[in-house]
Structure 1
Amino acid sequence: MRRKSKVPPAPLPQRLGVDPVHLRLPAEDAWPTLRAYLAERLPTVAPERIDALLSGREIVGEDGPVGPDEPFRPGAHLWLHRDLPAEVPVPFELDVLHHDDRLVVVDKPHFLATTPRGRHVVETALSRLRHALGLPALSPAHRLDRLTAGLAMFVVRPEDRGAYQTLFRDRLVRKEYRAVAPYDPALALPRTVRSHIVKERGVIAAQELDAPPNSESRIELAEHRDGLGRYRLRPLSGRTHQLRLHMSGLGVPILGDPVYPVLLPDPAPDDFRRPLQLLASGIEFTDPLTGRPRRFESRRTLAAWSDPAGWADGAAPRR
């Protein structure tokens, strides 16, 4: 079996908490120059931008910056900083609840993505934390949806990453959520919902199929008033959009959900008026490295319950 070659350490530092792009040139010598290869390999980058990167020596190999006349070197490693997309700043604070030599736990606001992806790169929890805390090797232990607020956990040291990510993979973390949704007196709660959820890459909405269940959620009603319910949710599995889909399937979709039960038109990127009323409120686990019990709780509230008039009027949420 052919071994996967190890990527050398990047010679470029992170920029605003974002790693440089790494390119490994193919083994075949099929291009006369590095520029010719880059023009083919990076079709979304304008040729004049490639020329500017090479002229400015902003593309770096293992032996230093490369220039416009650099020959193609099969198997070489290259690094460069990509041009970042224009992003609307998320105007809410990312609160650090816990920081030691192994873990960083934050209280993430709505609308802030956990990790860079697509049009959200710098405006993500990971990039903000790497930059603010000076922790370039910080990595996520799990993922929390961009529209969901609450607890997200990050690992400080690369050698500890596997131990904490395995906790989430093996369902050894007890996760609790709060949600605000319509109250239905005919809906018998508490109950456990099980279904088969599939989420296709590039498709916004997940779907439930008639197949053996691969997801499980415990749903309880904490209290209700004025036609709204405050719910306690515990996902016993970790499918994408699981809680949102299960609540919608019960006929009580979570307030502010732009996907379930109906996919709404994409709002303006700077419209922060009605956040999804879903909060990752608690995580609890036994630390795999110390054996100590750990529990963290969110300090955030859901505006539709704490300030229903302001939320209904579309006032910008307070953070």
Structure 2
Amino acid sequence: MNASSFIPPMVRGVSASRLYLPTIKPAPISVFEYLCMQFSHITQQEWQQRFNDAQIYSETGEILTLHSPYIAHTQIFYYRFLEHEPHVPFKHHILFENDDLLVVDKPHFLTMSPTGQYVQETLLVRLKNETGNELLTPIHRLDRETAGVVMFSKQAESRSLYQQLFAERKVQKTYFAIAPFCAELKFPLEMKVRMEKGNPFYTMKIVDGEPNSQTQIELTEHNDAWAIYKLDPHTGKQHQLRLHLSSLGIPIKNDPFYPSLNHKDKDDFSAPLQLLAKHLVFTDPVTKQKMHFSSRHELTL
């Protein structure tokens, strides 16, 4: 077996991560020592357990031990697991499935893919555990705080065809949001602004310059305090809808980022962001059929 042909097995819905071992002086004695140095936020006891559970592989498929030597310019495989992970008490629903696609209704508070403090409690790992399909890959993404329709590719052969749909803006996405009612604003209106990374790094900001984000906004219903807005984004910038509405003076209800940061405890699920990816419409590049998917979730005043 050569290095390029070995693929570690999926474990508890988690695919192995690949790590290149660079030249270091003085060189670590063992792979174990290097991992403890490289990932200081993970305890030595956790790494010891992963080695004891035979979850660290060489690039040729050899199961590494605590004493396996560090060999520069090789690769190893390891798995991302967390000793303590907040449980997200909301369920996803599979809306549609064929040979190429899995379309899912994502709940609020569920992160798309492993990151930070979430691995098992992510939509991708839940789906891999549920389906046994290690090839599942998100074709597009929703924020952790956003609920609604999201698509996954089931196989590598057709994946690029669906990714191209989004790259070429051939997917019609419709969102709904609850935000303050403002009688001074006249709808429908179109937001076209330039967005760049903000501070902190996980936020976005509006800056001067050529617009790179565009959203059509309509008012659908309102009372004296709140309104439901229909949002048709023509671009797909991170936090685009949240920042566009906030910049109009009507930030989405329960938004912890815009217009100002208001971090909540990781196990506080009391006030979901009132943003819903309601509809997804496109022509399937494989079957040539018109596809229309809608979330079961509803936003109500």
TM-score by length of 2: 0.90
Tell me the number of residue pairs that the alignment of Structure 1 and Structure 2 aligns.
298
Q: How much identity, in percent, do the aligned residues show?
A: 38
Structure 2 gaps of 5+ residues are none
Matches within 5 A, 1:1-319: 7-11=4-8, 13-26=9-22, 30-54=27-51, 57-61=54-58, 62-84=60-82, 86-200=84-198, 203-264=201-262, 266-302=263-299, 304-305=300-301
* Distance change in 2, residues 1:221/1:74 (3 Å): same
* Distance change in 2, residues 1:271/1:225 (3 Å): same
Per-residue CA shift, 1:190-220, capped at 9, x if unaligned?
Answer: 0111100112586232100011100000000
* Distance change in 2, residues 1:84/1:7 (3 Å): farther
Q: Residue 207 of structure 1: SS of its match in structure 2? A: strand
Rounded to whole Å, the distance in 2 between the matches of 1:93 and 1:269 is 17
Q: CA deviation at 1:52?
A: 4.8
Q: Residue 126 of structure 2: SS of its match in structure 1? A: helix
Rounded to whole Å, the distance in 1 between the matches of 2:152 and 2:113 is 11
Q: Residue 190 of structure 2: SS of its match in structure 1? A: strand
* Distance change in 2, residues 1:275/1:185 (3 Å): same
Per-residue CA shift, 1:252-283, capped at 9, x if unaligned?
Answer: 1111111111211x111121111111100001
Per-residue CA shift, 1:176-200, capped at 9, x if unaligned?
Answer: 0011111112210001111001125
Rounded to whole Å, the distance in 2 between the matches of 1:271 and 1:42 is 28
More divergent stretch after superposition (222-231 vs 59-68): 59-68
Rounded to whole Å, the distance in 1 between the matches of 2:160 and 2:199 is 24
Rounded to whole Å, the distance in 1 between the matches of 2:298 and 2:226 is 15
Contact preservation (8 Å) 2:177, 2:230: yes
More divergent stretch after superposition (95-104 vs 195-204): 195-204
Rounded to whole Å, the distance in 2 between the matches of 1:175 and 1:191 is 17
Q: Residue 229 of structure 1: SS of its match in structure 2? A: strand
Contact preservation (8 Å) 2:86, 2:118: no
Rounded to whole Å, the distance in 1 between the matches of 2:87 and 2:45 is 29
What's the C-alpha RMSD, in Å, of the aligned pairs?
A: 2.3
* Distance change in 2, residues 1:76/1:288 (3 Å): same
Structure 1 gaps of 5+ residues are 306-319
Q: Which residue matches 1:315?
A: none
Per-residue CA shift, 1:80-107, capped at 9, x if unaligned?
Answer: 2234152221111101100111101111
* Distance change in 2, residues 1:20/1:285 (3 Å): same
Q: CA deviation at 1:289?
A: 1.9
Rounded to whole Å, the distance in 2 between the matches of 1:55 and 1:270 is 31
Q: CA deviation at 1:238?
A: 0.5
Task: Write the letter of the residue equivalent to 2:227.
Answer: G
